[in-house]
């Protein structure tokens, strides 16, 4: 849902770069999971507010700037069970990463390694023989089949 990008001030606050469409989504949760690479721990959020395109937060176990510095790069998450169901034709990025991407000719272009939010639209980073950046828009993404773990795209091999 986000990543700690920097310390904020001298009292242990951190800046969080949200990965959500609505920047304030993380403010709905009083505890977050922090970590990455399978090493997660639950932390309490004492205070948090929007600050431009970031969230600034005071977190449990982060009493000063030195500790906040060491948290830089940590991922922020919430339990999947705490999130609302995705609407029709809506997907959580985590559900898309790892899916196979196949074009109309049946050629497998690779697997989604990442989703990049560009502001205008999201972009799939598809890793295969080469890395392709495919806009996640209806013109190019024809079908997402989560059960089959596949995305059908209108995208040429030579693009």
Q: Count Cβ atoms within 10 A of the Cβ of residue 61 and give its class: 0-12 exposed, 13-18 middle, 19 or more buried.
A: exposed
User: 3-state DSSP helix/strand/coil percent for the chain, to nearest 5?
Assistant: 10, 45, 40
Q: How far apart are CA 60 and CA 44, in angstroms?
A: 5
> Please, what sign has the CA dihedral across residues 84, 90, 20, 111?
positive
- How do the domains of the chain map onto residue ranges? 2-80, 93-153
Higher pLDDT, 37 or 7: 7
What per-residue confidence (pLDDT) applies to 15? 97
Which CATH code is given to the segment(s) 93-153? 2.30.30.240
Instruction: Supply the pTM of this predicted model.
Output: 0.67
Give 93-116 pLDDT, tens digit per residue.
889 999 999 999 999 999 999 898
Helices (H) and strands (E) in the chain, counts: 2, 12
| Chain centroid offset of residue 8 CA | 22
**Mean pLDDT across 32-52:** 92
When the candidates are 3.30.470.20, 2.40.30.60, 3.30.70.20, 2.60.40.420, the CATH number that belongs to 2-80 is 2.40.30.60
90 has pLDDT over 90: no
Is 38's pLDDT higher than 80? no
pLDDT tens digits for range 53-76 = 999 999 999 999 999 999 999 999
């Amino acid at each position: 849902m986000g990543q700690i990008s920097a310390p904020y001030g001298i009292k242990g606050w951190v800046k969080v770069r949200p990965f959500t469409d609505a920047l304030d989504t993380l403010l709905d949760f009083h505890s977050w999971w922090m970590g990455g690479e399978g090493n997660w721990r639950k932390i309490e959020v004492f205070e948090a507010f929007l600050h431009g395109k970031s969230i600034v937060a005071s977190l449990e176990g982060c009493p000063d700037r030195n500790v906040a510095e060491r948290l830089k790069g940590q991922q922020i998450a919430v339990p999947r069970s705490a999130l609302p169901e995705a609407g029709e034709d809506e997907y959580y990025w985590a559900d898309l990463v790892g899916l196979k991407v196949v074009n109309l000719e049946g050629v497998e272009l690779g697997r989604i390694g990442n989703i990049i939010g560009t502001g205008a639209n999201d972009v799939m980073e598809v890793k295969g023989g080469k890395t392709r950046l495919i806009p996640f828009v209806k013109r190019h993404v024809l079908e997402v089949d989560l059960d089959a773990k596949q995305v059908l795209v209108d995208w040429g091999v030579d693009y």
